[in-house]
Structure 1
Amino acid sequence: MTFWLFKSEPDAWSWDDQVARGDKGEEWDGVRNYQARNVMRQMKVGDLGFFYHSQKDKAVVGIVEVIAEAHPDSTTDDDRWECVDIKAVEPMPKPVTLDQVKADPRLSDMALVRQARLSVQPVTEEEWKIVRSLGGLD
């Protein structure tokens, strides 16, 4: 299994919006960055990811699961853009803020710190365990 981080502005698509989609999930559409698209092309069904509220909250607020691998993004006719589908799995008991991530030396190499603007990012297994622990899981 591989781990990821999905960023969303809560005013555009929030954790509550994701949860409301239930097991049907939702396309992670609208990504128009080649690097982020290429990250999604690596995802497999069953992979897990952090759901991250960007902008004002700047915190990991939940866990999602990839339920469909990369396919054409339904929000455009441009065949360069693909997306995956994800569903909500569980909320973080305690949101993990960007400040907490930056303050933890074990997470200094995390893409969230190094490539802050990338909307879809890989997460290492060790980073996954640390952030889950900071959020009150495990």
Structure 2
Amino acid sequence: MAYWLLKTEPTAYSYANLERDQKTVWDGVTNNLALKYLRSMRKGDLAFIYHTGDEKSLIGIAEVASDPYPDPKKKDSKLAVVELKPKERLPRALPLSEIKAQSQLKNFELVRLPRLSVMPVSDSVWKLLLEFAKKS
């Protein structure tokens, strides 16, 4: 199993929407590196859902519910999608400012490549972020 981080603008689609819908097709990824990562996702992987915009926080965890497949809404077969289902909301939203304040996360893609919408998360970073989200 691999770990990922997926970004979304909460005014377009939030973690609350995913909880309500119970499943969604994660589409709209067009950046080449983000698409490469999306195509590496596999059913059963887990992903942090990160709200962009004013929130800039990790909100919850989703489970990848399908292997990647071509975006059925686009004629461009280079674009891919995966299906997601909600797994759990984090105990608290974990703001980007707290993530950036951790020296052990300085090389994490969320800090290094802030515009990337899909990125891998190492096992050690996944565990750290879960620990930070549990602290009040």
**Which residue is equivalent to 2:7?**
7
Deviation at 1:50, TM superposition (A): 0.3
**Which residue is equivalent to 2:55?**
57
Cα deviation per residue 1:60-114 (whole Å; 9 max; x = unaligned)?
A: 0000110111101123111110111111100011111100000011111110000
What is the alpha-carbon distance in structure 1 between the residues aligned to residue 72 and residue 8 of structure 2?
18
The alignment-based identity, stated in percent, is 36
- Pair 1:98 & 2:75 matched: no
2:19 corresponds to which letter in structure 1?
V
Runs of at least 4 residues of structure 1 off by over 2 A?
Answer: none
**Which residue is equivalent to 2:116?**
118
TM-score, scaled relative to structure 1: 0.95
What is the alpha-carbon distance in structure 2 between the residues aligned to residue 75 and residue 39 of structure 1?
20
Cα deviation per residue 1:33-82 (whole Å; 9 max; x = unaligned)?
A: 11111101111111001000001100000001101111011231111101
What is the alpha-carbon distance in structure 1 between the residues aligned to residue 47 and residue 56 of structure 2?
16
- Gaps of at least 5 residues in structure 2 are none
Choose the corresponding residue for 2:78, options 77, 80, 86: 80
Contact 1:67 1:84 in 2 (8 A): yes
> Secondary structure of the residue that 1:69 maps to in structure 2?
coil
Q: What do you get for the CA RMSD once the two structures are aligned?
A: 1.0
TM-score, scaled relative to structure 2: 0.96
1:127 corresponds to which letter in structure 2?
V
Contact 1:3 1:47 in 2 (8 A): yes
